[in-house]
Amino acid sequence: MLTGSRDELLALFPEYEDATYGMYLDKLIPPAWQELQRNGFQLVDTAREDDFVIAGCLLFRNSVEKAEWGSPGNEIRMFWMVLQNHENKPIGTLVMEFSHSHIQFDIPNRPKIFAFEETERKEILSRITQRQKTR
């Protein structure tokens, strides 16, 4: 996916900076998200008017990035999506660890996906922080 779009994204980065990574995720995430939806999963959180939505499912407000998790050339942003099943029951949280550079367009590591049982924001943030401390 990145190979086919790399030149375009490199050219856009000087003007759009970090928003360029949203453009990348807009290309990467939708097929996986559509498969989850086909299997009956939905987001617990719905987009608000002031939300910045990436790839149709990542709400920027449901992400966190801390300086101590990376370096200027390899920052780490954690996105999460609380999922519910076809009965509208929250069942867990998918988390994506996304490495990126603030210096130039670069994705130093492949995105990593993992899951938590927790579905409340405070608990999710606690688990993410705990996970990053043990790395």
User: What are the structure tokens assigned to 105, written together?
Assistant: 């367009």
Instruction: Give the structural domain span for 126.
Output: 2-133
pTM of the shown model: 0.92
Taking 50 as the pLDDT cut, the residues of the chain under it are none
Please provide the size of the chain in residues. Answer: 135
Please count the structural domains in the chain. Answer: 1
Question: Cβ contacts of residue 111 below 8 Å, gap of 6+?
Answer: 28, 96, 97, 98, 99
What are the two backbone dihedrals, phi and then psi, of residue 64, each rounded to the nearest 5 degrees? -150, 145
Measured CA distances, 101 to 7, 52, 73, 131 (Å): 16, 20, 4, 21
pLDDT of residue 126: 96
Question: Cβ contacts of residue 21 below 8 Å, gap of 6+?
Answer: 98, 100, 105, 107
